[in-house]
Structure formats: C-alpha cells, structure tokens
Amino acid sequence: MSGPAPATLAGLESIAAQALECARRAGAAHAEACVESARDFSVRVRGGAVESLTQSGTRGLGLRVIVDDAVGFVSSTDLKPEALADLARRAVTLARFSTPDPANVLPTPGDDAEAGATAALAIFDPELVALSPDRRIEMALVLERLTLAHDPRVKRIDDVGLSSQEGASVIANTQGLARAWSETTLGLFAVALADDRDGKQRSGVYGVARRVLADLPPLEAVAREAARRAVARIGARPVPSARVPVVMHPDIAAAWLTEMYQAFTGEAVLKRSSWLTGRLDQMIAAPRITIVDDGRMPRGLGSSPCDGEGVPTRRNLLVDRGRLAMLTYDTYTARRAGARSTGSATRSYDSVPGVGHRNLHIAAGDESPECILARVDRGFYMDDQGSFGFNEVTGDYSFQAQGAWIERGERAFPVEGVTVASSSLDMLRAIEAVGNDLRFDNQVASPTLLIGEMTVSGAGGE
Amino acid sequence: MALLPDAEPDLSRLLDRGLVDELLSLGLAGGAEFAEVYGEHTVRSGFTLEEDRVRTSEYAVLEGVGVRAVRGDQTGYAYADGFSPEALREAARVAARIARDGASAARGDQGPRAFRVVDAPAPFRLERPAPIALDEAGKVALCRRANDAARAHDGRIHEVTVTLVDASKRFVVANSEGRWAEDRQYRTRLAVVALALAGDQRQQGFASGGGCVEAGYFERERTPEAIARESAGIAVTLLGAREPEAGAYPVIVGPGWGGVLVHECFGHGMEGDTIRRETSIRASQLGQRVAARGVTIVDSGIVPHSRGSFRVDDEGTPAQRTTLVEDGILTGYLWDWLNARLTGHRPTGNGRRSSYRHFPLCRMTNTYIEAGREAPQALLASVKRGLYCKSLGGGSVSPADGNFSFQVTEAYQIEDGRLTWPVRNATLTGNGNDAMLKIDGVADDLSINGTTGSCGKDGQWSPVGVGQPTVRFTEMTVGGTLA
C-alpha cells in the first residue's frame, strides 16, 4: 500500500505532465517537474487547553529546465494551466543567465524496480491518516498532563505539541522517468520547565517523530524523558578547564554527525572545501566506527523510494570500520566527478536538488551506556549543546555544552557554562566506545560515544 | 528593465473587501472574538555562482491566504495556496473550529466592523527597489563582479560561492476589529563565501550586503567588490590564525553584526509571548536593573533600509521604536496583537510571520545597543589580555536558563591594549541573565547590520537587523582547544 489517495497522486502526475509539456513548448531540451502536496496538522497545548491549532493543505510545483546545457528553475503554488505556461517560459528564459555545463543532465529511468518498491519502505500509514483531529488534540493534552505529573519540581511547560504531515510527491522528467509516492510523519514534543535557584528555570526538551502510528513510543515515555531532562539540570555549575574523556549522549553524537555530513559529499571534496579531501579509502576513524546513510530503512523518517531527482535511494556505507569508503553524489556532481549518483539528491518542490542525507547514523556497538560511563574515571558527560560551533571546512568542533561531571564512572553533579572543543578527525580517531543504544527519533541518529580526550573549557584553568 | 517583468497582481482585486468581509464573518462564526485575513503574493529570484559558473537561476512565486480565529488565548489557523474563494472559505471555516465549544461567547454573534485603512508613515522610501529595478543580467553581473574580486584578492583563494537572493512581497491584512493594512516589501541579499587554501590548511570567510535597498546601493554604498574583499580577507586571515586560549577573560565585541549577541541573549526574553507565559526571567523585572549603567537597548522596526524594517507588521500595526532598556533599567517589552491583548498592553509592531502559511508570533525587528560615549580605542587600551571579536557567526540561547553561545568568525588576541595575532575556532559562552550586567564599556561607534540576519522561532524565519557599537565585557567564557 503506497498511499490511499491515488486520485491525488494521479492529479499531481497530470500537473507534472502538463508542466513538462509546457517546458518542451517553451524550448527546453530537458525538463524535470516535482509536484508535492501535503496536509499539515499542528496543535500546541497549554494549561489543559488548545493554545493553537493549524490545519491546511498545500500544493506546489518546481520545474527545472535545461537549455543548451544551462539550468533554469522556477517554482510556484499557482498551478492553473495558464500559470504553468508562463512559469515554463520564465524557466527557459532564466536558463540563458546560467552557465552552460555539460554535467547538467537529468537521470534516466533505468531498469530499477527498486524505485517503485514503496511498500517495503512502509513510510505511509493509513492509520495515521485516519487518526481524527480530536484524537490528535487529545494526545497532546495527555502529553502535557503527563509531563507535569512526573516530578513535583516540574511546575510548568514551555511548550507541548503534536504535528503531522501527509504528503504525496511526484517527480517526472523528459527522459521518461516518472515516480510517485505517499508518506506520513507524526511528531510529538514536550519542553518541561523545572525551577532552579535565583529565578532560573531549567528546560528539558524531548521530541520524537515516526512514520507509522504503531512505532510511536508511549506518551508516558516522552513525558518522562522531557521532565527527566529538566530536573537533571537543576543546580548545574561550571567546572574548571581540563582535557578529559567526553561521553556523548546519542543526541549530541547525532548533532555532530549532522554537521559532519557536508564533508562526505562529492561536491565538497571536488571544491576541496571538505576536510576529508584526499582521504578516500584511508582510515579516518577508529575501526569500531561505521557510518551509514540509508535511504531504504523500513519506516525510516528519511526513507524514500527515490531521491529528489527520481534516482532510487540506496544504503550508502560512508565509513566502513574506520575507512572512508565513499562520497555521496547527485546526478550533477556525479557527472562532474566521473562517478554515479548515489541517490543522495534532496529537495522540496521549491528548491533545486542538492546533496543531502537520509537516515544517517553511526552503527550501534555492543556496550550499554552505563558500561561506557563506568569506564570513565574523571570526565564530562555531554547531553545538551548550543546550536553553532562547527567549522564545516576544517571539521573543528567547539560547542557550548551542558551535562554532568563524571567521577569514578558515575555522574557526580550537573554542569553548565562550559565549551567542549576538538577537531572532527581527532575525535573520530579517539572514539573508544560505541553504545548499543541506537534509536531513530530523527533522521540522524547515533548511539552513545566515548571520545578519549577533548578540551572542556570552564571558568578557569586547573 | 527586467526581462521577466513580474505581473504584480492587484491584491485588492484578488482579495476584494466583500470576500474578506465574508471570510472574517466565517472566522467569527462559532464564537471566536477575533478573526483576521492575511493575503500575500511574494516573488523571489536567486542566482548562485560557484566554481566560476552561474550554476542556477531561480524564480519562485508564493501566494495565498491565511485565516486566523482567536478566542481567549486560543488560536485557530488555516491557509490556502492561491486565491480561490472556495478554498479560502474552507480555510476560514477550519480556523473557526477553534471556538466551536464556545457558541455562547460574548461577541460571537457580532460580525466584523467596517474597515479603516491603517495610515502609517513609511520609515523610508525606495525609488528603485533592487529586486525589481535590476534585471536578471544586472543581478548576474553583480555576482560575477563579486566572484572576480574575491579571486583577485589573494592567490590563496581557491573557491568562491556568490549568491544573490531577493524578494518582492506584498500583503494585505484585515481583521474583525476593522483594521485594513497593506504593505510592499523589497529585500535583497548578496553573500560571498570564500575558501582559502594553503597546504593542508583550509579556511572560509563570509560577508554580505543588502537589505531593503535601492538598485544603486551596490554601486554607491557597498559594492560587490567590497563584500568580496571582506569575505576573502577573513578566509586568508584565518589561515594564519591560532587557537584561542580557553577560559574566562575580558572580551570586546566589535560594532555591527556583534549585536547578534544582544538579540539572542537578551532580546528573545523580551518577546511578549514569553513574558505573558512567564517563561522568561524578564517577566518580573520591569523597572529593575538588568544591564550595566550606560547600556540602552532598543528594538526598532523603522531603521532605514534594514531587512528587519517595514511600514506595518504582519498584523497591520505600524512599525515603531521601542526602548527595552534605558541606562540599564528594563523599561518595556515587545508585543504582538494577541499577547498585548491578553496582558493589557498596546502592540508594538512586533507581530510577524514567515508567510501566509503561519500565524504571527511576537518577533524582534532591528535590535541594538545604543551608542555610548567612549572611543573604541579607549576600550581596547585598558585590556591587558583578552579577545577582540571583530565578527561573530551564528548564536543561540536556551530561553529557560539563559545559557547562550556564539561562534566567533574573526577574532584577534588582545595583549597590553593592542590587537595581536588572529584567533580561530573561538566560541563565546555565557548566561543571558547577567551578560548585559557584565558590560563595562560602550563606545560611540554604533552600527546596525541590516543586510543578512534571519531569526528562527517555532519553525518560522524572519529577516532581522542587529547592531551595537564596540562593547566591552568584563568577562566571558571563551571555548577552545588550548586549556
């Protein structure tokens, strides 16, 4: 079952076909249409009542044309036939301002049955579609109640909400490629606030998203984790600067992996803007590290039958037991590098395809997080961070961090106001343990990691 | 003359008053106290030049209508792409459902009031707005000039990426209290990323120009060459930079973009939603000292030519200048319509939204520290050992506990009152609750950067300006690898 709304998909396919025809008439040698429609639902609750409720449906078209090897791109929400003709003319005119480049090609359909094999991916859930707005609101209200009920120190919430999206996508091009699929996503999040000294509040943020309703963790588990995170922060203080082992919570490790992804793209290596330039087939990480970008993981938030250009997605093994095994490409950058597309084009209807990740993760190891912690005599457990602190061309890492100080294998007290710094290559090589706690709450995931040594900067020297 | 003239639609024809009136009535049906209709037509164009080629030329249209219904502190929102009356009526009905349990609400049976057009002065006028006065060839030429200048700046510049993105936005907003407002906004941004290589070393620089600017801005005020040289200069400087010394010590933040610090670590806690919900530490601090003497903090939607400026906000409230802190004392907050109404304040022109696909939130516009009296050199001269941050990158703050951090993109070590070697990979951290109290010097060189800022909140992005003069902090924690 790839979606309940064949009428919708057929409607989108018809718009795509019209857009391609308009592009041909306007003089495009090649064209690609991407049409997306989505039903969005979002509820925020507070004080046992709905604070805001947004429900809507959207539909948009992106049209990429190639004229004399140069690219023009247009997008619009106005899909009336006369508007499509105008858009196509604009795209063709715009292409004259781009530089001709023989690497500007569109993928051909190939003989891959994979792209049609949506069912195995299980990214569409009729039960999620059937879930009534009232039931969704009720889930958010229950989540708020449970978040507040968990610990007496959690007296209020900053935000609790549920959002969902039911989407249908079509990609078609003048090479005869045509793909269509449907997908669903539902996300829940809670931000708990716990009182600390001096009027300070501590927030605990936790959110999960899933493709299918049956995969959703119990509301109680989401609430408990948000409350736990807020309470764990009470009394946090800085520590003196030191070079110590750092245990990364899965969220922190996943955030690092997200930052690193750019360096694995063929485009960055081609431009030499990647810190992995010249390291293909070399050991870049400890042998216990395997990094995978899997576009075909069943029920994966990043799974899709094909990429943003209609090329079938794959399971890409980026780092194989420490060795940089491959780089990722879309059709254009693959042609430039003399490689093949790795099914890594990502986009929305209103953007030109570019290279991006899908279910990107560090493969699980076999140690429990508790065992990993127990290995550390004195160090830092990092479980929250600021948003900025990564240098994408050097891989240098310097993030404001919060967490706990580790003494004799246990969390001794909560820590805030420190910065954790190193460089990604040093960190990858210094990974001493990989947890068995890999879980996909987002598109990017990692188990707990132990990094042998990083600089933790605090309020002063030792 | 643009080769692709935009057929700028007449919004009041696509969304005539009769239809708006009907949508507002539908929004009120069922007991809502307030309904609002927001119609938008936005055209964006974009050019990306990298590896010496114009890789793509883009054009996008985003148009549609959002309907908001409010009862008490509850908001219902729905939107439709395009202007099909039937789709808009459905959106109004869906938005109205928020009030479905309140059929007996006080004003539920009243219709919308007659419209009065909001008459607000324009903070500045554009004779030839860059997005429509420059044609495609002219925009590409600006990108090429920037590319050439960056490459010519230094032999170590290996790669350059130039993007020019602009938007022409027009909107109409009308509500059941009889407000009717329209605005047109034009924003342009030219950004240059330069990559410098030397042996195994690689570093990147960034600089940008633009705002709500005239076509002539790129000739008269900030040329593509100037933007390119700044970006390339940073990249090359960083090649020879050292790692920062980790620890807490005096920090001076340079004028202009450094104001991102006050935006993140102070401004967010002054937004009306966090004040009403009491999730901000500032909620109880009106009249209290929250910054050092001599520190005055302002949010102003009327800064000329900044991308954070406008005539009316996305609720139709005229833009204004709001003093948040006067000589260190907290004097006022930022309010959108809903949070102002729930707390008995007047909206301050801070109700903003990314597009018709979102309901408005309380947002900053151009937030800055006012000029002080000291000379920038004097602030530097008295620092024995510290860090001078000429340019900051992105920053973020945790609203509950106030912990913030900023990436420093260009910095120099201060030794005995002088700038010495360049420093890279520094991160500034601290707590917003007391950061403004740690200021011990404000210079007279105020500069507001209205060219590049975008602020994210609840999944919505708003163009903003930030600014400050040279400001000295007694101490901030600098993160780095040298412990």
Please state, in angstroms and rounded to a whole number, the distance separating the CA atoms of residues B317 and B336: 9
Amino acid at B70: V
pLDDT for B440 = 96
Chain B residues within an 8 Å CB radius of A49: 74
Nearest by CB to B247, from A46, A241, A386: name it: A241
Rounded CA gap, A257 and A447, in Å?
11
B159/A422 CB distance under 8 A: no
d(CA A168, CA B69): 28
pLDDT band at A3 (very low <50, low <70, confident <90, very high): very low
Nearest CB to A203 within list B246, B277, B398: B398
On whether any CB of chain A is under 8 Å from the CB of B106, the answer is: no
pLDDT, tens digit (0-9, with 9 covering 90-100), for B69-121: 999 999 999 999 999 999 999 999 999 988 775 444 444 456 788 899 998 99
What ipTM does the predicted assembly reach? Answer: 0.92
pLDDT of residue B7: 59
State pLDDT tens for residues B437-463.
999 999 999 999 999 999 999 899 999
Q: Which amino acid is at B270?
A: M
CB contact under 8 Å between B57 and A457, yes or no, is no
Q: What would you report as the CA-atom Rg of chain A, rounded to the nearest whole angstrom?
A: 24
The number of C-alpha atoms within 13 Å of B469 and in the hemisphere containing its C-beta is 22
User: Which residue in B38, B62, B81, B460 has the most chain A C-beta atoms within 10 A of its own C-beta, making it the best mutation to test that interface?
Assistant: B81
| pLDDT over 70 at B8, yes or no | no
> Mutating which of A400, A420, A425, A451 best tests the B interface, going by the most B Cβ atoms within 10 A?
A400
| pLDDT for position A266 | 97
> How far apart (Å, rounded) are the C-alpha atoms in residues B297 and B343?
22
Name the DSSP class of A228: H
Q: What is the pLDDT of residue B248?
A: 87
Pick from A186, A183, A157, A155: nearest CA to A43: A186
Whole-angstrom distance, CA of residue B390 vs CA of residue B411: 5
> Is the confidence at residue A91, as pLDDT, over 70?
yes
The whole-chain average pLDDT of chain A stands at: 94
For residue A118, report the phi and psi dihedrals to the nearest 5 degrees: -75, -35
Kindly report the nearest CA distance between residue A293 and chain B, in angstroms.
25
Distance CA A265, CA A336 (A): 13
Q: Which residues of chain A have a CB within 8 Å of the CB of B77? A: 52-56
Whether A149 contacts A219, CB under 8 Å: no
- Residues of chain A with C-beta less than 8 angstroms from the C-beta of B425: 391, 394, 396, 398, 421
Residue ranges of alpha helices (H) inside A343-386 are 369-374
Q: Which residues 6+ apart lie within 8 Å of B444 measured at CB?
A: B371, B372, B373, B374, B375, B376, B469
> What are φ and ψ of residue A93, in 5° steps?
-65, -45
Number of CB atoms found within 10 A of residue A198's CB: 7
State the maximum Cα–Cα separation within chain B, in Å, rounded to a whole number: 75
**Structure tokens that stand for A426 in this block:** 């040093």
Partners of A386 on chain B (C-beta within 8 Å) are: 395-396, 403-405, 427, 429
Whether residue B60 and residue A389 make contact (CB cut-off 8 A), yes or no, is no
Nearest CA to B300 among B81, B448, B445?
Answer: B448
d(CA B395, CA B91): 37
Side chain identity at B232, as an amino acid letter? Answer: A
Tell me which residue has tokens 């420059």.
B134
The tokens for B129 are 């707005």
Read off the tokens for A28: 């495009």
**Which residues in chain A are closer than 8 Å to B479, comparing Cβ atoms?**
389, 398-400, 418-421, 455, 457
What residues form DSSP beta bridges with B181? B173
Q: Dump the DSSP string for A252-271.
A: HHHHHHHHHGGGGBHHHHHT
The two tokens of residue A412 are: 């001794």
Q: Which residues pair with B157 in a beta bridge?
A: B196
- At residue A197, the pLDDT reads 83
At residue B397, the pLDDT reads 85
DSSP string, A161-186: EEEEEEEEEEEEETTS-EEEEEEEEE
pLDDT at B157 over 90: yes
Dist CA B84 CA B90 (whole Å) = 10
Strands laid side by side in the A315-320 sheet: A323-324, A315-320, A291-294, A359-362, A444-445
Tokens of B200: 């195994």
Nearest by CB to residue A241, choosing from B82, B246, B279, is B246
pLDDT the model gives residue A4: 41
Query: Smallest Cα–Cα separation from A404: which of A231, A253, A256?
Result: A231
Interface of B with A in 360-419 (CB under 8 A): 393-396, 398-407
Q: Is the pLDDT of residue B53 over 50?
A: yes
Q: Which residue of B has its CA nearest to A423?
A: B481
Q: Closest Cα to residue B227, out of B217, B237, B241? A: B217
Residue A436 has pLDDT above 50, yes or no: yes
Q: What are the angstrom distances between the C-alpha of B317 and each of A421, B120, B306, B346, B365?
A: 45, 9, 18, 10, 13
What are the tokens at A431? 């990974």
- Cα–Cα distance between B345 and B273 in angstroms, integer? 12
Contact list in B for residue A52 (CB cut-off 8 A) is: 74-77, 359
Mutation site for A-interface testing, chosen from B79, B282, B397, B401 by largest number of A Cβ within 10 Å: B401
CB B390 within 8 A of CB A385: no
Model confidence band, residue A462 (pLDDT cutoffs 50, 70, 90): very low
Short-list B191, B257, B253, CA closest to B428: B253
Q: Please check whether residue B32 is in contact with residue B71, taking contact to mean a CB–CB distance below 8 angstroms.
A: yes
Chain A to chain B Cβ contacts (< 8 Å): 263
Tokens of B473: 């902090």
Residue extent(s) of CATH 3.30.2290.10 domains in chain B: 130-170+181-239
Average pLDDT over residues A293-304: 97
Give the CA-trace dihedral at B263, B266, B272, B273, to 10 degrees.
90
Kindly tell me if the per-residue pLDDT of A1 is higher than 70: no
Paired tokens of B343: 């707390």
Give start and end residues of each alpha helix (H) in B412-476.
432-435
CB contact under 8 A, A418 and B479: yes
B130-170+181-239, which class in CATH?
alpha beta
- Cβ-contact B164, B46 below 8 angstroms: yes
The CATH number for A6-230, chosen from 3.40.50.720, 3.40.190.10, 3.40.1620.10, 3.30.2290.10, is 3.30.2290.10
Angle at Cα B93 formed by Cα B88 and Cα B98, nearest 5°?
A: 130
The residue that leads in pLDDT, B429 or A462, is B429
Residue B212 confidence class, pLDDT cut points 50, 70, 90: very high
* Coil vs helix vs strand at B82: coil
CA angle B193, B198, B203 (to 5 degrees): 30
State if pTM tops 0.90: yes
Q: Output the CA–CA distances (angstroms, integers) from residue A346 to A74, A237, A349, in the order listed.
A: 17, 41, 10
Q: Measuring CA to CA, which residue among A391, A399, A433 is closest to residue A418? A: A399
Please check the confidence at residue A461 and state whether its pLDDT lies above 60: no
| pLDDT value at A111 more than 70 | no
- A306 DSSP 8-state letter: B
Tokens 């001599």 -> residue: B294
